[in-house]
Chain A
Amino acid sequence: MSYPWAREYEPKTGLTKFLDEKLPLPRLVYNAVGAGYPVPRNLSYMWNFGVLAGFFLVVQIVTGIVLAMHYAANAEVAFATTEHIMRDVNWGWLMRYAHANGASFFFIVVYIHIFRGLFYSSYKAPREMIWLLGVVIFLLMMATAFMGYVLPWGQMSFWGAKVITGLFGAIPLVGEPLQVWLLGGFAPDNAALNRFFSLHFLLPFVIAGVVILHIWALHIPGSSNPTGVEVKSESDTLPFHPYYTAKDGFGLGVVLLFFMAMVFFLPNALGHPDNYIEANPLATPAHIVPEWYFWPFYAILRAFTADFILSAKLWGVIAMFASILVWFFLPWLDKSPVRSGHYRPMFRKFFWFGLIPAMIVLFICGGAPAEEPYVMASQIATAYYFLHFLVILPLISSLEKPEPLPYSITEAVLGSDKKAVLGENTTPAV
């Protein structure tokens, strides 16, 4: 589906005519990311990050497949084969550093993509399915990244695996047998390493599949935009190609500059030194910390330090999973008819002065040792996090008086729209 004014694909050469008849792949591409996909003309650079996330998925799959050719998932040799990649494989160090930092950049662009969606309420009707699939992708990414970090079999790999699978041990009755079943033993060892490798190879392709669904679901209502006003007429849109291919190309160049600067000059800055020590079940690291992209959720896990009917540990596990699962319900929690944060004065304040500081505090506390003042700070931030999504957001949608919306995207961009009818400007156009 698309807007009625979407350009239609016209095969010109014999080959494309042949293909269009037998397997209309060029038509599919033309309609998905070509001139056949009309996109709101006012997208800011915040709308680059979906394409960038797709790019980093490809980087991870390509570098990952090369690494898998030289890696052996066996607890005896996993650490040594990782060093073999770093020392003996031609350009192996580049592949591994690109893969490790590629994971970080994948999360950076996805976090920006998610928080863009939160600020512009991109999850609202008619785009609920895009959002739901996005949360599924994020969960799959977290599982994949966690299992990937175990593979080099360093100290943090081992102890991270032990802590995270230990979370399942907090579940009453079935917890411990479940943990043993997940690990294939009482502690992470060969069985766990092998299955993590297998799943780490599989899940990226599952992610790629869900990404296709995500884009498919996007093409039904079309892209959202910074005003949150739906597309009304042809003057509101531009064809994806060449306008947004050019804009995405420039954005990709900028992000690649940062990515390559990290890979070549600070490749270990985002990692933990302990992971260059081979896994040792008998020596516990002083501070077990996950990779940086898990810190906010790790902070929520550790914020529950006191028993309250259930054990503190179980509360932490439930809250950590709930902190992401709550995103699934956003389309139905936030009932404000206005999408964009630019026209929502109350929402905007809570977003910039509530949610974002809470996320930053959680991020810092998740990476810090479990001492004061970090624990108490993370408890306040955790409380705000749940209040924001489950109490404040639903309340704002009924209390807030939105600012007047532009009649159309054209009016927002050009200052006026010939089709605008006086008096209609003040009602939210949704």
Chain B
Amino acid sequence: MIRILGALIGLGFTVVVLWAFGNGAYSAMTEDVAATAEHEFYLSPKDVDFQHEGAFGTWDLAQVQRGYQVYKEVCAVCHSMKFVAFRDFAEIDYTEEEVKALAAEVQVPGIDPNTGEATMRAGVPTDYFPSPYPNKVAAAAANNNAIPPDLSLMTKARGHGTEYVYSLLTGYGPIPEELSEEFPEFTTPTGLYFNQYFPNLNLAMAPPLTSAGQVTYADGTEATVDQMAKDVSAFLTWTAEPTLVKRKQTGWPVLGFLLFATILAFMSKKYVWSSVKPKTED
């Protein structure tokens, strides 16, 4: 009885799902799926090498520091970075004094200790990175209604994040001719910028890195657009996961120990089972 009932239910589901299949197959044959410019001209991030990549990767601290300079002078004008505190900069090779000085460069909201009134004070290492806008409404109002996203986690919030940031920063350009030929109606509206590494192809962010020498690196590295884009991508990889290198470095001894323990476990299994291995007859 249960098997007859089961077979009927099974056939029922099959009929319904094949009905859906038939509908889908019919519309696939009769209707053209319109190709979209986004689908055909979006490019996956470029492959760039960074020292932190790979199972043995370590931070290029000079690069991360240069990236911070680009971040501070260019990105921070519009973007927030709310999960990073100044104390964290001790991890990328800044001394205690340097961290204090970096924190003191910014003004953060505070309370007057005498009157209790809201005031501004110089930052200290425990402060988090200040947001360029007092609130979301102000951020939207200043940016054509597109709120600049927080950058703390950006490289983890996109596939191949580090490469994505680098490709986006260096990926602005005119609409290619092939695209205009294939999709004559495709345009970039005013206030948006064409970028093939952005899934929509039209991005609200104006090209932030436009000319060589936009920042002056303290270590004398030549500040080409490519170099600045690379450096800030490395920096944002660090802000997204400050523990990345420590994680990989912890992993090796853990795997080494486990390999040793597993070999021992295998040998004891062999030893324990040796007496009961298949023989002809006991």
Instruction: State whether these chains interact.
Output: yes
Binding site for B on A (CB under 8 A): 41, 80, 83, 86-87, 93-94, 97, 238, 242-243, 246-247, 249-250, 252-254, 256-257, 260-261, 263-265, 267-268, 273-274, 276-278, 286, 303-306, 308, 312, 315, 319, 322, 326, 329, 332-333, 335, 372, 375-376, 379-380, 382-383, 386-387, 389-391, 394, 413-416, 418
Q: Closest chain A residue to B11 by CB distance? A: A391
- A263 to B252 Cα, complex, angstroms: 11
- Which residue of chain B lies nearest to A304 when distances are taken between CB atoms in the complex? B20
Is there contact, CB below 8 Å, between B16 and A304? yes
Cα distance A304–B13 when bound, in Å?
Answer: 9
Is the beta-carbon distance between A249 and B265 smaller than 8 angstroms?
yes
- 13 pairs of residues in contact across A and B, judged by CB atoms under 8 Å: A86-B243, A93-B247, A246-B268, A260-B251, A264-B254, A305-B24, A308-B19, A326-B6, A333-B2, A333-B3, A376-B24, A386-B10, A386-B17
Top 9 nearest A-B pairs by Cβ distance? Answer: A390-B10, A264-B251, A253-B262, A379-B21, A276-B157, A306-B20, A306-B23, A250-B265, A386-B13
CA distance A303 to B282 in the complex (A): 57
A153 to B269, CA, bound (A): 45
Closest B residue to A259 by beta carbon equals B258
Interchain CA distance A278-B276 in the complex, whole Å:
58
In whole angstroms, what is the CA distance A278 to B136 when docked? 14
A257 B259 Cβ-Cβ under 8 A: yes
**Majority secondary structure, B binding face:** helix
Bound Cα distance A274, B20 (Å): 31
B281: chain A residues at CB < 8 Å are 414-416, 418
- The residues of B that contact A249 with a CB separation of less than 8 Å are 265, 268-269
0 or 1 for each of B1-18: is its CB under 8 Å from A? (1 = yes): 011001101110111111
Report whether A415 and B278 are in contact in the complex, using a CB–CB cutoff of 8 Å: yes
Partner of B276, one of A238, A261, A332, A390: A238
Across the interface, do A382 and B28 meet the contact criterion of CB distance under 8 Å? Answer: no
Known: A87-B83, A238-B276, A277-B157. A394 touches B251 (CB 8 A): no
Q: Is the CB of B255 within 8 A of A414?
A: no
In the complex, are the beta carbons of A394 and B6 less than 8 A apart? yes
How many angstroms from the CA of A380 to the CA of B3 in the assembled complex?
23
A20 to B163, CA, bound (A): 64
Q: How far is the CA of A307 from the CA of B16 in the complex (A)?
A: 9
Closest to B154 in A: A276
For residue A243, which residues in chain B have a CB less than 8 angstroms away from its CB? Answer: 272-273, 276
Q: Does B186 contact A (CB under 8 A)?
A: no
Residue pair B255, A260 in contact (C-beta under 8 Å): yes
- Does residue B109 face the partner (Cβ distance < 8 Å to A)? no
A253 near B265 (CB under 8 angstroms)? yes
Known A390-B7, A391-B11: A80·B269 in contact at CB below 8 Å: no
Q: Determine if B269 and A372 form an interchain contact, defined as CB atoms under 8 angstroms apart.
A: no
Task: Give bound CA distance, A273 to B164, whole Å.
Answer: 12
A376 and B262: CB pair below 8 A?
no
Q: Is B268's CB under 8 angstroms from A372's CB?
A: no
